[in-house]
Amino acid sequence: MTQTTAPPVDTTPSRRSVSREDLLAAALKLIGPHRSLSTLSLREVTRQAGIAPNSFYRQFRDMDELAVALIDLAGSSLRTIIGQARRRATSTAASVIRVSVQTFVEQLRADDKLLHVMLREGAVGSDAFKHAVERELTYFEEELQHDLVRLAAADGVTLHEPALAAKAITRLVFAMGSTAMDLPPERDAELIEQMSIMVRMIVVGARAASTAVDRAARRMQARTQA
């Protein structure tokens, strides 16, 4: 009687599937206060994600595409968080400013490091990374402009060049955030106070400028009609 031999059992561990989110999370774990996305290698990210390097290409063309996707994720997540905070605040401009700044600083210290991605890559990343950060900042400015106009209308005033006011606030806050990353958390209260005052100065100035422009226009119209 012929004895048949059973086929050998494959003991090689199966490679688990990986999603874009898995790779983005792996990259976030590797970056830090002194390490940007541009310094990460594909092998480091796949090792952190627990997959073979070739599996990376099922989700991204290269590390640049992953980095841009992470910047986009950081921007959209932060806009959602800060937008929700603004809506929870009272209707006064001072309250909205304070809550928005506090939320920004909280995200600066958050474990997910999403804000760090935007702050670091906007300063030291490649051109592709900087363009992605610039795009996200523009989205911040557009949403902030809408809120500034809404708050001014609620107070019965107008805003001079609201798009520029929103840009000035956004660039100020992110510039200060870049510096604050290297400061100890004990300085956060001081930072929040300084940023809140600076933002209020921009808002008050934009409102005052609008009033001054309107008065000048009325004086000019009165002279023309005289």
Q: What is the mean predicted confidence (pLDDT) over 211-225?
A: 71
Give dist(CA 122, CA 8) in Å, integer: 54
Question: Residue 9's pLDDT is what?
Answer: 44
Residue 187 half-sphere exposure toward CB, CA atoms < 13 A: 12
Show me where the domains of the chain are located. 20-225
**What distance, in Å, lies between the first and last C-alpha atoms of the chain?**
123
Question: Residue 14's pLDDT is what?
Answer: 41
For 43, the token pair is: 């092998």
CB-count burial class (<10 Å; 0-12, 13-18, 19+) for 131: middle
How much of the chain exceeds pLDDT 70, in percent? 87
Question: Residue 16's pLDDT is what?
Answer: 62
Write the single-letter amino acid at 198: M
Q: What is the mean predicted confidence (pLDDT) over 153-179?
A: 93
For 72, the token pair is: 């986009």
Asked if the model's pLDDT at residue 204 lies above 70, the reply is: yes
Q: Report pTM.
A: 0.81
Q: 20-225, which class in CATH? A: mainly alpha
